[in-house]
C-alpha cells in the first residue's frame, strides 16, 4: 500500500481539513485530495465525510486510520534504523514541553543529551499541557513532557519526576518565607495561569480537596503562562501558584520569594507523553532512557 496516500489520509483526519493537511505535509491541496481519492478507489470505500464544514472520517475511515497510524510509525522506525549504519543518532528529535518542565528541566536534559549525540538535531517547542498533548496525539510531535495527565485513549503517560508547586510572592511581601491561611489568601490578588496550564489544573484539584476552587479566590488577573505571571508577581501585582523549578533563578537572585498555604500541599508529577501504538524512533528511545537515568 502507498504510504504517501496513508500519510495524506491521516493528516486530513487529524486536521479535519484538506487545506491544513496540505500545509502540514508541504504539498498542495489538490495533491492531498488526489492521494485520498486514489486510496478510496483502491479500497472501494468512502473514507471521509466531506458534507460538513469539517472533514470527518467515516466508520471505515476510522478503522483504516488506526491501522494506518501503526503502519506509518513502523515505516518511520524502519527508515530511522536503516539511515544510520554507524550507530550514531541522526535526524531530528522533536519534543514539546509545557511551560513548567520546559523552563529548566527539559532544556538541560536535551542540551546534555545532544552534546553526547552531536549529529542529532533537537527541536523543543513550548506550549501549555493541553496543546502539547494534542500535538503528540496528532503525531506532530513524537514526545511531550507535561505537568498534568489528560484523559485520552490515544495517549500514554509515563511518570518522570515529582515537581513541587509553591505560592510565589514579591520578595517584600509579609508572607515571604512564611505561611498564609486560605482566608488570608482570599484577601490577596491571586494571578492565575490560563486554562490548559498543568499547574492550574493541579492547584484547582488541591483547592477542591480543601473545599475551594481557583475562581473562589476571585482571580482578577489571568495572564497566560508562567513567564507572564512571574513578571507580574516580581513587579508586586499579586501572588501566583507556580512550579518551584520554574522560579529557581528568581529565588536565587531575590526577585521572588515563596510562601506556604496552610492546609495545601500542591505537587505534581511530570510526565512523558507518547502516542499509543507508536514505536519510538532510536533517538526518542535513547532520550527516554537518558531522561529516566538522570531524573531517577
**If we measure between CA atoms, which residue out of 289, 287, 280 comes closest to residue 81?**
280
Q: Does 155 share its domain with 171?
A: no
Q: In this structure, are 130 and 144 located in the same domain?
A: yes
The kind and range of the H/E element at 283 are helix 282-295
281 and 258 housed in the same domain: no
CATH number of 30's domain? 1.10.10.10
Same domain, 142 and 58: no
Q: Does residue 11 share a domain with residue 34?
A: yes
List of residues 6+ apart from 272 with CB closer than 8 A: 143, 144, 145, 157, 158, 160, 288, 291
Please tell me the pTM assigned to this model. 0.61
Domain assignment of residue 21, given as a range: 3-83
Per-block mean pLDDT, blocks of 10 residues, the chain (296 long): 84 89 88 91 90 88 83 69 64 86 88 92 89 86 87 87 88 87 84 80 81 70 83 91 85 90 83 86 90 89
Set of cell numbers at residue 216: 473562589
Does 46 lie in the same domain as 97?
Answer: no
Same domain, 175 and 156: no
In the chain, how many domains are there?
3
Amino acid at each position: 500500500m502507498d504510504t504517501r496516500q496513508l500519510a495524506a489520509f491521516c493528516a486530513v483526519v487529524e486536521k479535519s481539513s484538506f487545506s491544513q493537511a496540505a500545509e502540514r505535509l508541504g504539498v498542495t491541496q489538490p495533491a492531498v485530495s488526489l492521494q485520498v481519492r486514489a486510496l478510496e478507489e483502491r479500497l472501494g470505500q468512502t473514507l471521509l465525510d466531506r458534507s460538513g464544514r469539517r472533514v470527518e472520517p467515516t466508520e471505515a475511515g476510522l478503522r483504516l486510520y488506526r491501522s494506518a497510524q501503526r503502519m506509518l510509525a513502523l515505516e518511520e522506525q524502519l527508515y530511522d534504523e536503516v539511515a544510520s549504519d554507524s550507530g550514531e543518532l541522526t535526524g531530528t528529535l522533536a519534543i514539546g514541553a509545557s511551560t513548567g518542565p520546559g523552563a529548566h528541566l527539559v532544556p538541560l536534559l536535551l542540551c546534555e543529551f545532544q552534546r553526547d549525540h552531536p549529529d542529532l538535531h533537537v527541536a523543543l517547542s513550548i506550549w501549555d499541557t493541553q496543546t502539547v498533548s494534542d500535538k503528540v496525539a496528532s503525531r506532530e510531535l513524537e514526545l511531550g513532557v507535561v505537568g498534568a495527565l489528560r484523559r485520552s485513549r490515544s495517549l500514554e503517560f509515563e511518570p518522570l519526576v515529582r515537581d513541587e508547586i509553591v505560592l510565589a510572592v514579591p520578595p517584600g511581601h509579609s508572607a515571604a518565607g512564611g505561611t498564609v491561611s486560605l482566608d488570608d489568601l482570599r484577601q490577596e490578588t491571586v494571578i492565575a495561569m490560563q486554562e490548559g496550564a498543568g499547574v492550574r489544573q493541579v492547584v484547582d484539584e488541591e483547592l477542591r480537596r480543601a473545599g475551594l476552587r481557583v475562581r473562589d479566590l476571585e482571580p482578577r488577573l489571568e495572564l497566560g503562562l508562567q513567564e507572564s505571571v512571574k513578571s507580574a508577581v516580581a513587579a508586586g501585582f499579586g501572588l501566583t501558584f507556580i512550579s518551584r523549578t520554574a522560579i529557581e533563578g528568581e529565588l536565587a537572585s531575590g526577585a521572588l520569594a515563596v510562601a506556604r498555604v496552610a492546609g495545601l500541599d500542591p505537587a505534581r508529577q511530570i510526565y512523558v507523553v507518547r502516542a499509543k501504538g507508536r514505536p519510538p524512533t532510536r533517538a526518542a528511545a535513547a532520550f527516554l532512557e537518558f531522561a529516566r537515568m538522570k531524573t531517577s
